[in-house]
Structure 1
């Protein structure tokens, strides 16, 4: 039965990693679109450069958050605790009415 638990943990980790990747991708896209909007309204080359720098910072932040989530998910799987990758209790004990 331990193999089943490991497989379940691995599936949860993979799903959480995919969600983290998708979120990072959305954040990067949002940063790019925001930069384009700011560049269109900016007249000063300095403002355009600031928009580019802000975009790069947001993209790096999204990548950092994704990697932190992956590390957290791997630690959760290896710990084999009673919490899933989302931090919620995943036990099945008790009676629910």
Structure 2
């Protein structure tokens, strides 16, 4: 059973994670809208592609910031417990399986350049 203090900390952490997800969602939406405006205001194909690349960069940054908040909370939680019992190293390898992870996105294939036909 959790003590009152740790239950409150858990609620605070969960709320902070939810806020980080909401902020990331809003940042991603803002990036998408900005890209659409930029693409509509230019006829130059190069400028349209640059607008898309800027959008993808903003989306990746928003996702990275969200993941950093979650990882920081997990690290704080493990520190309080007295040591690591699982999770992800900063270089992206899972402690439990050794499987490669993408710390910048939870979307399959996201950030791989596959949208460019590669």
Q: Normalising by structure 1, what TM-score?
A: 0.75
1:61 paired residue number: 61
User: What is the distance in 2 between the residues matched to 1:44 and 1:77?
Assistant: 50
Asked if 1:23 is matched to 2:23, the reply is yes
Structure 2 gap ranges (5+) = 81-118
User: What is the distance in 2 between the residues matched to 1:51 and 1:19?
Assistant: 27
Structure 1 gap ranges (5+) = 81-97
Q: How many residues align?
A: 80
User: What is the distance in 2 between the residues matched to 1:76 and 1:9?
Assistant: 11
- TM-superposed CA distance for 1:2, in Å, is 5.8
The equivalences for 1:58-97 within 5 A come to: 58-80=58-80
Higher helix share: 1
The equivalences for 1:28-67 within 5 A come to: 28-67=28-67
Question: 43-52 or 67-76: which moved more?
Answer: 67-76
User: What is the distance in 2 between the residues matched to 1:79 and 1:3?
Assistant: 17
Q: Normalising by structure 2, what TM-score?
A: 0.62
- TM-superposed CA distance for 1:9, in Å, is 1.1
Of structures 1 and 2, the one scoring higher in RCO (CA 8 A, sep 6+) is: 1
User: What is the distance in 2 between the residues matched to 1:56 and 1:75?
Assistant: 28
